Amino acid sequence: MTEQTSTGGPARRARSGHRPGRAAGDRAGTTVAVLGATGCVGRAVCAAYARRGDRVLAIARTAPPDPDHPFLALDVADTAPAELARILGDAGVDTVVNAAGGWARTEELHRGHVQLVRRLVAAVGATRTRPRLVHVGSVHEYGPIAEGTSVRETAEVRPDTAYGRMKLAGSRIVLRAAQAGSVDAVVLRAVNVYGPYTTPASFLGTLRDRLRRAGPEGLTVTVAAARRDFVDARDLAEAVVLAGRAPVTGEVINIGRGVAEDVRELVRVLLETAGLRPDAVPLVDAPVSSNGGAWTRADIGRARRLLGWRPRAGVRESIEALWEQG
């Protein structure tokens, strides 16, 4: 089926496809709540808002030992919408970023990407401050992407993994609420994320941690013959900030570099960053079996047009941050 967003193809326009937005210089009274604040994306989002002088309320299930921002330990998936609305209203929140959820068992995927989003949307709609909602979705919501092509937001969505299906279900909850006018929201469909604090659950994060623990001795890396689009968490965070202020609602916007990187080349760069020769670890070819698919590349033209956003970090800069901050 074709995703119903407010622009493009057969999709219908949301009731409020454009919103007034804030003037670029208006910094007064900005308070953002970031869900999933301890993850790779959430940490980058908190830092991006803090650099701009915004007030940040970091929210996650478990507080870190020494949080950088005011922190609320809260399991949003188990929190009643009325209670969450009270929390957001009392804090004067005017922007909510949902960067929660990760790779997990199917039942946990539903809880983190569907149940949580359903409660969050209900809470945002009931909050007296009517905050803006930026929902971080995933390129995996599209399903397989034809090799050599760049996927657009108007593409047919056919996710073929549990993760992709749950992410799509969550994004649809947000989009339908925006189209109904009950929330002011936008969905960012991000490609594979790396950079500072890359999750250990990812391929590159796993390899980084294995190299740190045991070094290259006796290590063999199985690498799929895949080319995938990657975006630095810091660039994604800047897109989130821009989306929080952009005069659009009910939109899906791809966030990536628009480049399909050879995964084997990323491994070589990581080995060099770790101070190893590129041939220090044998690379063994394997079929694609992960959520990533054999080919991903996002068309990021809409992000340029609607947000004024472009990626900045190159591969080596992002891999160095992955190695140094993780």
Active site residues: 163
Q: Where are the beta strands (DSSP E) in 171-319?
A: 184-190, 192-194, 221-224, 227-228, 230-232, 251-255, 261-262, 283-286
With beta carbons less than 8 A apart as the criterion, state whether 253 and 186 touch. Answer: yes
CA-to-CA distance for 315 and 135, rounded, in angstroms? 25
Helix, strand, or coil (residue 138): strand
CA-to-CA distance for 101 and 94, rounded, in angstroms? 22
Please state the φ and ψ torsions of residue 130, each to the nearest 5 degrees. Answer: 50, 60
CA-to-CA distance for 72 and 279, rounded, in angstroms? 45
CA nearest neighbour of 298 among 99, 153, 136, 102: 153
CA-to-CA distance for 155 and 142, rounded, in angstroms? 7
